[in-house]
Chain A
């Protein structure tokens, strides 16, 4: 069977019918991780424990009632706590740190008997848009190794796009699952804030962070989301709303009925039409969006121009609020209880100062400093408090737009993946890559990035769908319909992968 182009339900059936064993499946992916080591997508490969878990699953056997995820190889970004496994967040400051517990999402995956093949490379503490900020070196884009993988969940995105795992999970604060998904030609979901527990995820920006599944097709994305979503008493920010299975919803209400969904109105904001070289939006990206619109118009979907007038301030709001939160969340890394501790300190202050000065990378230090500044006396009102109010206006724009349309659509990123090293000199240039992903993160609404074809240079382009709070079903419905209509955009393995 063609494992790489098969969805989880197809593979699960093959496992249940003993056409393939869990060990064979796990070994298949572990071999691909090894032969694609150059991509640097993994920090830790759990080869022995993955095979041992696979053997236990094969010994237990499969029943028809088993979870679809049973026996499926899964990769996790290296800010997920997996008990007994090194957790680095791609930072020197966590050198040697081994997670003492499983996070809730990890517990749920283990209950479902998913097989964790390893921990993926990322931008340090999830801060970055290119995965060039890792202390373990950058992740390479498998479509073109001279290009960035996108960040901060670059390793997880590459694991899916190069066929190194069936699915992967990352985290998204300002776009860190959607942006690398767009650059890698795969799907990713950033759920409504509160849908998935963050217990056991190393915190970056606590009013923003969300776990996001990543996959090559819509079925896998839905199954991956279902497995980890839901209220968790260990995470007070999770929603008490019952999280119904999106995959079951798709099978019951969408599969085979794709033609009857033309009732959706899709809103397109003005920024999406801005494809000229002066706006920084690649005209090929805009043309790709126009192509998606044509496909959907033929199916009877209606379109409406909408306005998100405060989204142009979203980048500045985000780069005030998230560093502010980071400066607090990363104060726990002090060299006292775990991780890297500097030598040659003379007192407690210098222990902290030298450990953090030498243990954190440049981008992390920059954001901690920025965050400390905007929260400090004399500047808090002008920066942090002001940004939080503008954030409300960004959110209200979305609320207003959703009275006029069901889903908002526009490109996930202004460009395709850029060259390694091209944007590392000026932090602001790098931050601009998040231009299209940040607004929905600030508003806490769910969004889904899907691949919409390749550029003339063979690089993936991604589009995003955004829905109102807790309306993930609409996102998955439209993605399912697009996958049915344009299957060539989905289930692709990057050209450069071995």
Chain B
């Protein structure tokens, strides 16, 4: 297996996802299968090839650095109530 259960546990910690034991086993099999398929990329010669990280390498237009403000009441509608932890605040 390319991705054993210890590696799954490590990735889960990095991704901040808590997995059940059955999920760990299943993901180990599935990700190993997917990564095995990807070994086909080993046959591609990429010497001297620049990576493509962006969708379209066009010149980007910029806008003035003026903040767009939201009404906090609209943002807070989605929030949670939490206990007050700082006195006087």
A349-B16, A393-B46 as given contacts; A193 in contact with B38, CB under 8 Å:
no
> Do A390 and B19 touch (CB < 8 A)?
no
> Do A365 and B17 touch (CB < 8 A)?
yes
- Number of chain B residues close to chain A: CB under 8 A: 47
> Do B50 and A389 touch (CB < 8 A)?
yes
Proximity string of chain B (1-18) to chain A, C-beta cutoff 8 Å, 1 when within and 0 when not: 001000110011011111
Q: In the complex, what distance in Å separates the CA atom of A316 from the CA atom of B46?
A: 15
* A207 to B: closest C-beta gap in Å: 5
Q: In the complex, what distance in Å separates the CA atom of A339 from the CA atom of B77?
A: 11
> Do B18 and A357 touch (CB < 8 A)?
yes
> Do B18 and A101 touch (CB < 8 A)?
no
> Do B38 and A383 touch (CB < 8 A)?
yes
| Of B18, B38, B61, B78, the contact of A233 (CB 8 Å cutoff) | B61
* A370 to B: closest C-beta gap in Å: 6
Q: In the complex, what distance in Å separates the CA atom of A83 from the CA atom of B77?
A: 12
CB contacts (< 8 Å) of A208 on chain B: these are 55
Closest to A349 in B: B16
> Do A369 and B31 touch (CB < 8 A)?
yes
> A-B pairs with CB below 8 Å: how many?
154
Q: In the complex, what distance in Å separates the CA atom of A390 from the CA atom of B80?
A: 44
* A306 to B: closest C-beta gap in Å: 20
CB contacts (< 8 Å) of A50 on chain B: these are none
CB contacts (< 8 Å) of B62 on chain A: these are 236
The answer to whether B40 has its CB under 8 Å from any CB of chain A is yes
Q: In the complex, what distance in Å separates the CA atom of A442 from the CA atom of B30?
A: 24
The answer to whether B85 has its CB under 8 Å from any CB of chain A is no
A98-B77, A369-B15, A369-B31 as given contacts; A320 in contact with B53, CB under 8 Å:
no
The answer to whether A395 has its CB under 8 Å from any CB of chain B is yes
CB contacts (< 8 Å) of B35 on chain A: these are 370, 373
Q: In the complex, what distance in Å separates the CA atom of A331 from the CA atom of B31?
A: 20
Q: In the complex, what distance in Å separates the CA atom of A354 from the CA atom of B20?
A: 10
Closest to A325 in B: B53
Q: In the complex, what distance in Å separates the CA atom of A454 from the CA atom of B49?
A: 42
The answer to whether B34 has its CB under 8 Å from any CB of chain A is yes
Q: In the complex, what distance in Å separates the CA atom of A83 from the CA atom of B18?
A: 32
Which chain B residues in 17-49 approach chain A with CB under 8 Å?
17-20, 23, 27, 30-31, 33-35, 37-38, 40-41, 44, 46, 49
A353-B17, A365-B23, A427-B30 as given contacts; A240 in contact with B41, CB under 8 Å:
no
| Of A319, A373, A390, the contact of B46 (CB 8 Å cutoff) | A390
Which chain B residues in 51-75 approach chain A with CB under 8 Å?
51-56, 58-63, 68, 70, 74-75
The answer to whether A296 has its CB under 8 Å from any CB of chain B is no
> Do A370 and B58 touch (CB < 8 A)?
no
The answer to whether B79 has its CB under 8 Å from any CB of chain A is yes
Q: In the complex, what distance in Å separates the CA atom of A313 from the CA atom of B18?
A: 32
| Of B14, B33, B70, the contact of A428 (CB 8 Å cutoff) | B33
> Do B27 and A395 touch (CB < 8 A)?
no
* A192 to B: closest C-beta gap in Å: 7
A373-B3, A386-B46 as given contacts; A100 in contact with B11, CB under 8 Å:
no
* B55 to A: closest C-beta gap in Å: 3
Which chain A residues in 195-251 approach chain B with CB under 8 Å?
207-208, 231, 233-234, 236-241
> Do B44 and A428 touch (CB < 8 A)?
no
CB contacts (< 8 Å) of A376 on chain B: these are 11, 14
> Do A234 and B68 touch (CB < 8 A)?
yes
CB contacts (< 8 Å) of B19 on chain A: these are 357, 365
> Do B7 and A373 touch (CB < 8 A)?
yes
The answer to whether A299 has its CB under 8 Å from any CB of chain B is no
CB contacts (< 8 Å) of B18 on chain A: these are 350, 353-354, 356-357
Q: In the complex, what distance in Å separates the CA atom of A192 from the CA atom of B79?
A: 37
CB contacts (< 8 Å) of B33 on chain A: these are 426-428
> Do A240 and B61 touch (CB < 8 A)?
yes
Where the two chains meet, the residues of B that have a C-beta atom closer than 8 Å to any C-beta of A are: 3, 7-8, 11-12, 14-20, 23, 27, 30-31, 33-35, 37-38, 40-41, 44, 46, 49-56, 58-63, 68, 70, 74-75, 77-80
Where the two chains meet, the residues of A that have a C-beta atom closer than 8 Å to any C-beta of B are: 83, 96-98, 100-101, 192-194, 207-208, 231, 233-234, 236-241, 310, 313, 316-317, 319-320, 327, 331, 334, 336-339, 341, 349-350, 352-354, 356-357, 360, 365-366, 368-370, 372-373, 376, 383, 385-393, 395, 426-428, 431, 442, 444, 469
